Amino acid sequence: MPGVDHDDSTFRRFDGRLMLDILYQETDPRYLQGEPDTYWIQYGGGDSEDWCRKLAGRCPLLHMKDYKVTPEEAPAFAARMKELGKPFDYKFYPGTGHAFMNFTGTRYNEEQARIAWADVTAFAKGLANKK
């Protein structure tokens, strides 16, 4: 089933309505799921928790990024996700920033990228084993 991984452009207004609202209000949840992206929601002026509530029932994934969820804030965020009945795990990679796994970029951190890739692989294998 397709999902939407959006950016901040979906927080622009068209005829007074947010483009992201239009997208979800005018599509059938059976055919389009959500994947709220915490970075772009916050960058676009929204609230991630509000969007998770708005998309209840069609939000199988939450795309977490490093915008405003800090290591200090993560435990409270995880507790809130638990209250909402959403499985949640988080990892932080010391000494890294956005795009640290991009080996062609200037922010590449080989040591932490290897650890992160192992984490991602283990997560994906866990999903495959649940089927």
Please report, for residues 30, 42, 54, 84, 127, the alpha-carbon distance to residue 10 in angstroms, rounded to integers and kept in the order given: 21, 12, 15, 25, 29
Per-residue pLDDT of the chain (131 residues; tens, 9 = 90+): 556 667 777 888 999 998 888 988 998 888 888 888 887 887 777 888 888 888 888 888 777 765 556 788 888 888 887 887 877 778 888 888 877 888 888 889 999 999 998 988 887 777 666 65
Please report, for residues 5, 17, 57, the alpha-carbon distance to residue 48 in angstroms, rounded to integers and kept in the order given: 13, 18, 16
φ, ψ (nearest 5 deg) of residue 36 = -55, 130
Strand partners, 3: 33
> Are 59 and 35 in the same domain?
yes
- Residue 130's pLDDT is 63
Q: Please give the full DSSP string across 11-27, using - where no structure is assigned.
A: GSEETTEEHHHHHHHTS
How many domains are contained in the chain? Answer: 2
- Residue 73's pLDDT is 82
> Are 61 and 117 in the same domain?
no
Q: 42: Cβ–Cβ under 8 A, 6 or more apart, which residues?
A: 48, 67, 68
- Residue 115's pLDDT is 94
- Residue 68's pLDDT is 59
Enclosing domain of residue 70: 1-86
> Are 104 and 68 in the same domain?
no
> Are 6 and 24 in the same domain?
yes
Cβ neighbours around 6 below 10 Å, total: 20
- Residue 109's pLDDT is 92
- Residue 55's pLDDT is 87
- Residue 114's pLDDT is 93
| Sign of the torsion angle spanned by Cα atoms 32, 122, 125, 114 | positive
> Are 96 and 131 in the same domain?
yes
- Residue 110's pLDDT is 93
> Are 53 and 21 in the same domain?
yes
